[in-house]
Amino acid sequence: MFASAQLSVWHATLDAYPRALAALCDSKKGANALRLAELDQWYQETLPGLIIARKPDIDPQGHGAYLTREEVVKITEWKLKRGKFRPRLQSLVESNTDATVQKITSEAFAKFPNVQASLKILSGLKGVGPATASGRRVNLTLGSLVAILAAFSPSIPFMSDEAMEAVPGMGKIAYVEKYYLKYNDNINEKCEELNSNERAGELRTNDAVYMILNGRLICSYRKIKLFTGFVWTPRLLERTLWTYTVCHRFGIEIAEG
């Protein structure tokens, strides 16, 4: 999948996201299925708009973009339900105060696009910081930290197992910053390739061109290059790779349009 440069393959896979999510929800028990669907819609569609509305050029108070404690708790819940659930992590995140969350996330977002600086500041939140020296918390924390930053900017891919597994040459998954930055670079490079192909795509118009050639009326169709306006972001690419892996897991066929 990742090696493919065919836009039809990528678009078809992205379009299959609702079916992949539905299959994952169906595999959950009881209320967890409905909760995952609700949280995913909130994280993917609602939350980015809430954050944008708080940016300095939009917010009349000039406070800048930030997240509330409730939002960080919901982000963590979304991450755990979409992947592996760890109740201990949820309780740690809930122990943060709203004032602390707003201050730290605001400072972290202000450092972006310096990813490393943003991640370092976010590590001040309980339950979402970097690993301890022993490494015991590494697989519990970095994913949540990245999920927070990915909610702020579409140029940051979420660190899902499913997406990382789909990127060749990454080796064994490691929940450390060095591994994530390598994954982030690969995702951004692929976005550049796909967007270059999007811009180069040719569409045939229905506008006929008439001309006189050797006394005969000739009709032909103009072939012009048009940019469709679709832009691949790391956020969308992660979603597409996640869909690819989940579809294969549940035996869902991805049909190209």
Is residue 59 domain-resident? yes
pLDDT tens track, the chain, 257 positions: 999 999 999 999 999 999 999 999 999 877 888 899 999 999 999 999 999 888 776 555 545 899 999 999 999 999 989 987 666 667 778 888 999 999 999 999 999 999 999 999 998 887 654 443 344 433 337 888 999 999 999 999 999 999 999 999 999 999 899 999 999 999 999 999 999 998 886 443 444 444 444 444 444 444 444 445 789 999 999 999 999 999 999 999 998 75
DSSP 36-55: HHHHHHIIIIIHHHHHHTTS
Q: What span, in angstroms and rounded, lies between the C-alpha atoms of 199 and 20?
A: 28
Q: How many domains, the chain?
A: 1
User: How many CB atoms lie under 10 A from the CB of residue 48?
Assistant: 16
Residue 198 per-residue DSSP state: H
Q: What span, in angstroms and rounded, lies between the C-alpha atoms of 34 and 32?
A: 6
pLDDT of residue 64: 83
pLDDT of residue 194: 95
Whether residue 157 contacts residue 151, with contact meaning beta carbons closer than 8 Å, is answered with no
Range of the domain at 18: 7-250
Whether residue 133 contacts residue 127, with contact meaning beta carbons closer than 8 Å, is answered with no
Is residue 2 domain-resident? no
Is residue 256 domain-resident? no
Contacts of 33 (CB under 8 A, 6+ apart): 25, 26
Q: What span, in angstroms and rounded, lies between the C-alpha atoms of 53 and 160?
A: 27
Is residue 255 domain-resident? no
Q: What span, in angstroms and rounded, lies between the C-alpha atoms of 120 and 99?
A: 18
Contacts of 133 (CB under 8 A, 6+ apart): none
Encode 69-104: b = buried (16+ Cβ within 10 Å), e = exposed.
bebbbbbbbbbbbbbeebeebbebbeebeeeebbeb
Is residue 199 domain-resident? yes
Is residue 257 domain-resident? no
User: How many CB atoms lie under 10 A from the CB of residue 119?
Assistant: 24
pLDDT of residue 83: 82
Q: What span, in angstroms and rounded, lies between the C-alpha atoms of 79 and 90?
A: 10
Q: What span, in angstroms and rounded, lies between the C-alpha atoms of 123 and 140?
A: 12
Is residue 37 domain-resident? yes
